[in-house]
Chain A
Amino acid sequence: QAQKGPVEAPNVDLRSMAMEGKVKEIIELMEKGAIADGECFYVLFDKCGNPKLLQNAKKVHDFFLRSTFRGELRLINRVLEMFAKCGSMVDARRVFDHMPDRDIDSWHLMIRGYASNSLGDEGLQLFEKMKELGLQPNSETFQAVLYACAGAEAVEEGFIYLEKMRTEHGIEPQMEHYLAVLDVLGASGHLIEAREYVEKLPMQPNVAAWESLRDYARYHGDLDLEDHLNELIADLDPSKAVADKLPTPPPKKRMAVNLMEGRNRLPEFKNPSLYKDDEKYKAALKEQGYVPDTRYVLHDIDQEAKEQALLYHSERLAIAYGLISTPPRTPLRIIKNLRICGDCHNAIKIMSRIVGRELIVRDNKRFHHFKEGKCSCGDYW
C-alpha cells in the first residue's frame, strides 16, 4: 500500500485491458515491468480459464507468485479455478498443495475441477482427504462431491454420499442434491433408474428435475422417453411445450410392453434364407448380416500389414489428413506431383463411397474426381 501514484496509474490501464481480454498484451507489459494489482489478477485469472490459454495462464500465475498478493486466499482460489478450466489439474493440484491455508471453497473448487476434467475419482479421493483432516463438509461440499460422482460415473458412490450426508453430517438433502444424484445417474447412462429415481423422490419433482431427465434422454437417444417427458413438462409448464415438434415415428414393435413374450415368429418366416442380391451385397460389403456371431474380433493389424501401412502412399496420407480436418461430406482436393498408381486409384474410388465425399485428386497427368465409388476418368487413365 506504500506504492501509490506512478505505479497505480498503469494499473488502471492493465485492469481495463484485462477486462477486454488482452491477456497477451498484459503479459508483455508485465514482462517489461508493469505491475498488476489484485483486482487485475482477479480478472486475468478469469480470462485465462480456457484450455487454449494454458501457457498464458502459467505465465500470469508466475507473475502472481512474484507479486505482493500471492498470499491472498481469494485470488489463489481463482488460480485453482483457472487451471481447472484450462484442463490442467496437475497445475491446480500443485497450487493447492502449496497453499498455506485453504478455505472450504478451495476444496470445492478442486473437487469440481477434477470432476469437470473427467477425473471424478480424484475428486472423491480429495473429499476423503478433506474428511481425514477433520474438515466439516457443508451442503455445498456434497454438491461438489456428487458432481464428482457424475464425472466419475460412480453411481454407487453417489448414493452412498447422499446417505452419508444425512447420517454422518446431519445435512438434510435439498432439491439440488437430488438433482445432483440425478446427474450421476444420467451421466452414467442409467436412464431407467434415473426416471424411477425422480418418480420416487421424497418431494414433488419440479420442472427442473424433469427437464434434466429429458436432457439425458436426449443425450442417450431415447426418443420415447424424451417425448413422454416433454409431455410432462408441457403439462406442468405449458410455456415449455415444444412447438412445431416433429411427430415421432411409431416403433415397429413395442417389445417392452406388448406382453407377446416369445411369440415373435419372425425368424420362422423371414430369415435366415439367403437372397441372391443379399449375397451380392455381402460380396461387395462383407459385413455381418442378420444376427451374426457375437464376438467379431476386431481387425488387429498384424506385423506385415503394419509394414504395409508404412508404405501408405502420399495421397492416402493427404486424404486422411483432409478427412480429419474438415466437416463431413465436404469435398477434398489433393494435388500429387506424380501419377497416381492403380492400387491407390482403386482404393480411393471405394474410399469416396465409404467416407461420403467427393475426392478430387490432381496428379501430374490429369484430374480424378472420385465420387460415390466412381471416378470421372472412367478408369481410362
Chain B
Amino acid sequence: AFKEFTRMRFSDIHPNHITFITLLSGIAHYPSQGRLFAAPLHAYVCKMGLDRPNVKVGTALVDMYSKCGFVDSARLCFDDISEKNSVSWNTMIDGYMRNGKVDHALQLFDEMPVKDAISWTALIGGFVKKGLDEEALECFFEMQLSGVESDYVTIIAVLSACANLGALSLGLWINRFVMGKYFRDNIRLCNTLLEMYSRCGRVDFAREIFEKMPSRTLVSWNTMIGGFAMNGLVEEALILFDRMQREGFKPDGVSFTGALTACSHAGLVDQGLEYFDGMQNVHNLSPRIEHYGCLVDLYSRAGRLEDALSVIKNMPMKPNEVVLGSLLAACRNCGDINLAEVVMKFLVELDPSSDSNYVMLANMYAAVGSWEGAGKVRRNMRTRGIQKRPGISSIEIEGGIHEFMAGDKSHSQTDSIYEILELLSYELENYGYIREAAVPEL
C-alpha cells in the first residue's frame, strides 16, 4: 500500500481523503510495521488540510495513533477534529481502553453527548480485555438502565465477563435475554454462551445449547470439546471429538488441544499418544508447543516423569514455562525434589517473575519436612523481589459476587463463616482427613 502511495505521489496525483483513510487504517491494522509511517503520514495529511474538516480522516488518524500506541497523539488529533461524530468518539474511547487508560476513557465517555451501543460496547469490551470484569458488568447494567439497545457484540463481551467471574446467574439471565432477541441464532453468540456455561461449570447447559444450535462452526466444536475436557467429562469430550470428524469438520490445533487435555485429565496416556500421532500423521498438523505441553502434562499426571522429560528433550522448540510448570507440578506429586530443583533452575531463567513456581517448590520442601529448603526458596524469592500473588476465590450468591482471600476476615458474616469452618475441620478429621503441612495458598 505504501509503495502504491509513493508511486501516486510521484505521479503527481493528489491523494484525496479516501486514499488517506485507506492508508491510515492500513497502518492501524499493522501497527508494528506501520508505526514509523504514522507521523510522516499525519504531517502529510495536515499539509493537505484534510485533518480538521474531514471527520473521517480525523477519526482514521485517531484510530491509527491509538492502535500504534500513541494515545496522546490520538487525543490531540481527536481534539482537532472540528465536527466530531459518534464514530470519532467511539474510536477515541476504544483508543484509551486499548492503551489501558481506563480513567480517560471513562471521562471521555461521560463527556460524550450521545452514547450509542458502540460506545457502551467499547467501554465494556475494554473492561473485559483489561480483566476488569466486574466493572464491565456494572457498565452493562448502566447501559440497560440508560435504555440503549445492546447488540450482539456487547452481549459477547458481557458473556466473557460472566465466564471470567463465574457469574452464572447473570449468564443465565443474558441467555434468556438473548433468546428473546433477533440474534438468537447468531453462531458467535452461541459459541460465547457455550464458553460461558462451560467456564461456569454448567457444562450440561452448554451441551443443551450445543445440541440445539442450527449450525455449528469449528469454534463451536472446539469450545464444547474444551468445555467437556475442562469439566472432567473426558468420555464426552472424546466422543464429541470423533463426532465432529464424522460430521465433516476437520479438527484443527485447538480441537487437538481439547482432546489431549481430556486425555491428560483422565490419565489416558495411551489414548493421548494416539491422538498426538494422529494429529501429525493423519491430519497433517504440526504440533505446536501447547500440544507438547499437553503431552508433558499427560505423562506428568500419570507419574511418568521420564517420558515427560524425553518429550521436552525431543520437541523441536525450546520449552516454555507452561511446559516446565507441568513438569514441576508432576515432581511435586511424585515427591521428586531433585528433579524439581533442576526444573526450577530453568524456570527461573525463563520466567523469573512467576511466583507460583517458587511457592510450589517451597511447598514441596515443606511437604517432606525440609524447612531449610523451604526457607531457602523464600529467601530467594525475596531477593528477587517476587511477591506471592494472593489467592482469591469467589462465589456467586443471589447474583452478587463475593470474593475471599486466605484468612480473610472482612466479610460481614465472618463469624458465621469461621464457625462453619471450625465445624467442618472437626468433621473432616472424623472422616479421616489429615492436614498436610501448613502451606501458604498457591
| CB proximity of A377 to chain B, nearest CB, Å | 5
Q: Does A271 contact B (CB under 8 A)?
A: no
B397 neighbours in A (Cβ, 8 Å): 321-322, 325-326
**Choice from B393, B424, B435, B442 contacting A351 with Cβ under 8 Å:** B424
Are B421 and A312 touching (Cβ within 8 A)? yes
User: How many angstroms from the CA of A250 to the CA of B392 in the assembled complex?
Assistant: 53
Interface residues of B in 361-416 (CB under 8 A from A): 363, 389-398, 402-408, 411, 413, 416
B391 neighbours in A (Cβ, 8 Å): 313-315, 336-338
Q: A359-378 CB contact bits vs B (8 Å, 1 = yes)? A: 01110001111000001111
**Choice from A310, A321, A341 contacting B402 with Cβ under 8 Å:** A321
Chain A interface size band reads 35 or more
Are B395 and A322 touching (Cβ within 8 A)? yes
Are A318 and B421 touching (Cβ within 8 A)? no
| CB proximity of A89 to chain B, nearest CB, Å | 23
Q: Which residue of A lies closest to B326 (CB)?
A: A365
Q: Which residue of B lies closest to A284 (CB)?
A: B432
Given contacts A314-B393, A322-B395, A338-B356, contact A360 B436 (CB under 8 A): no
Q: Does B439 contact A (CB under 8 A)?
A: yes
| CB proximity of B310 to chain A, nearest CB, Å | 20
User: How many angstroms from the CA of A191 to the CA of B435 in the assembled complex?
Assistant: 45
Given contacts A314-B391, A338-B391, A341-B442, contact A320 B424 (CB under 8 A): yes
B398 neighbours in A (Cβ, 8 Å): 325
* Interface pick from A115-123, A236-244, A342-350: A342-350
Are A320 and B417 touching (Cβ within 8 A)? yes
User: How many angstroms from the CA of A324 to the CA of B230 in the assembled complex?
Assistant: 28
Q: Does B291 contact A (CB under 8 A)?
A: no
| CB proximity of B258 to chain A, nearest CB, Å | 12
* Interface pick from B14-22, B112-120, B259-267: B259-267
Are B230 and A367 touching (Cβ within 8 A)? yes
Interface residues of B in 330-386 (CB under 8 A from A): 332, 356, 363
Q: Does B426 contact A (CB under 8 A)?
A: yes
A343 neighbours in B (Cβ, 8 Å): 435-436, 439
| CB proximity of B332 to chain A, nearest CB, Å | 8
Are A347 and B433 touching (Cβ within 8 A)? yes
**Choice from A283, A319, A324, A338 contacting B432 with Cβ under 8 Å:** A283
| CB proximity of B235 to chain A, nearest CB, Å | 11
Are B432 and A380 touching (Cβ within 8 A)? no
B407 neighbours in A (Cβ, 8 Å): 310-312
Interface residues of B in 419-442 (CB under 8 A from A): 420-422, 424-433, 435-436, 438-442
* Interface pick from A130-138, A195-203, A327-335: A327-335
Q: Does A160 contact B (CB under 8 A)?
A: no
Given contacts A326-B397, A380-B265, contact A353 B431 (CB under 8 A): yes
User: How many angstroms from the CA of A334 to the CA of B397 in the assembled complex?
Assistant: 10
Most chain-A CB neighbours within 10 Å: which of B231, B398, B417, B426? B417
Are A311 and B395 touching (Cβ within 8 A)? no
**Choice from B233, B405, B438 contacting A376 with Cβ under 8 Å:** B233
User: How many angstroms from the CA of A367 to the CA of B405 in the assembled complex?
Assistant: 19
A376 neighbours in B (Cβ, 8 Å): 231-233
A301 neighbours in B (Cβ, 8 Å): 422
| CB proximity of A174 to chain B, nearest CB, Å | 45
Interface residues of B in 259-282 (CB under 8 A from A): 261, 264-267
B441 neighbours in A (Cβ, 8 Å): 313-314, 338, 341
**Choice from B406, B417, B430, B442 contacting A321 with Cβ under 8 Å:** B417
User: How many angstroms from the CA of A310 to the CA of B442 in the assembled complex?
Assistant: 16
Interface residues of A in 67-113 (CB under 8 A from B): none
Are B230 and A334 touching (Cβ within 8 A)? no
Q: Does A257 contact B (CB under 8 A)?
A: no
B421 neighbours in A (Cβ, 8 Å): 309, 312, 316-317, 320
B42 neighbours in A (Cβ, 8 Å): none
**Choice from A284, A318, A367, A368 contacting B431 with Cβ under 8 Å:** A284
Are B392 and A336 touching (Cβ within 8 A)? yes
Are A324 and B201 touching (Cβ within 8 A)? no
Are A380 and B264 touching (Cβ within 8 A)? yes
**Choice from A310, A312, A339, A362 contacting B356 with Cβ under 8 Å:** A339
A318 neighbours in B (Cβ, 8 Å): 393-395, 402-404
Q: Does B219 contact A (CB under 8 A)?
A: no
A315 neighbours in B (Cβ, 8 Å): 391, 393, 404
| CB proximity of B326 to chain A, nearest CB, Å | 10
**Choice from B264, B404, B416 contacting A314 with Cβ under 8 Å:** B404
User: How many angstroms from the CA of A324 to the CA of B427 in the assembled complex?
Assistant: 16
Q: Does B156 contact A (CB under 8 A)?
A: no
User: How many angstroms from the CA of A299 to the CA of B422 in the assembled complex?
Assistant: 9
| CB proximity of A316 to chain B, nearest CB, Å | 6
Q: Does B56 contact A (CB under 8 A)?
A: no
Are A367 and B432 touching (Cβ within 8 A)? no
A342 neighbours in B (Cβ, 8 Å): 332, 436
A320 neighbours in B (Cβ, 8 Å): 417-418, 420-421, 424
A319 neighbours in B (Cβ, 8 Å): 395
Are B392 and A369 touching (Cβ within 8 A)? no
Q: Does A285 contact B (CB under 8 A)?
A: yes
Interface residues of A in 155-194 (CB under 8 A from B): none
B417 neighbours in A (Cβ, 8 Å): 317, 320-321, 324
B418 neighbours in A (Cβ, 8 Å): 309, 312, 320
Q: Which residue of B lies closest to A376 (CB)?
A: B232
**Choice from A299, A322, A335, A338 contacting B426 with Cβ under 8 Å:** A299
**Choice from A314, A316, A340, A377 contacting B265 with Cβ under 8 Å:** A377
Q: Which residue of A lies closest to B261 (CB)?
A: A366
User: How many angstroms from the CA of A316 to the CA of B393 in the assembled complex?
Assistant: 9
User: How many angstroms from the CA of A12 to the CA of B440 in the assembled complex?
Assistant: 65
User: How many angstroms from the CA of A156 to the CA of B439 in the assembled complex?
Assistant: 56
Are A347 and B428 touching (Cβ within 8 A)? yes
Are A321 and B432 touching (Cβ within 8 A)? no
Given contacts A309-B422, A315-B393, A376-B233, contact A321 B411 (CB under 8 A): yes
Are B231 and A369 touching (Cβ within 8 A)? yes
Most chain-A CB neighbours within 10 Å: which of B356, B404, B433, B440? B404
Are B420 and A324 touching (Cβ within 8 A)? yes
Q: Which residue of B lies closest to A305 (CB)?
A: B425
Are B232 and A313 touching (Cβ within 8 A)? no
Most chain-B CB neighbours within 10 Å: which of A313, A325, A346? A313
Are B424 and A354 touching (Cβ within 8 A)? yes
User: How many angstroms from the CA of A326 to the CA of B439 in the assembled complex?
Assistant: 29
| Given contact pairs A337-B392, A366-B230, a sample of 12 additional A-B residue pairs in the complex whose CB atoms are under 8 Å apart | A311-B438, A314-B405, A317-B393, A318-B395, A320-B418, A334-B393, A334-B395, A342-B436, A347-B433, A355-B424, A367-B231, A368-B232
The 10 closest A-B pairs by CB, nearest first: A376-B232, A335-B166, A314-B393, A317-B404, A343-B436, A318-B393, A360-B201, A380-B301, A315-B393, A318-B395
Q: What are 12 A-B contacts with C-beta separation under 8 Å? A: A299-B422, A315-B391, A317-B421, A318-B393, A335-B165, A338-B389, A338-B442, A346-B433, A347-B433, A351-B424, A367-B231, A380-B264
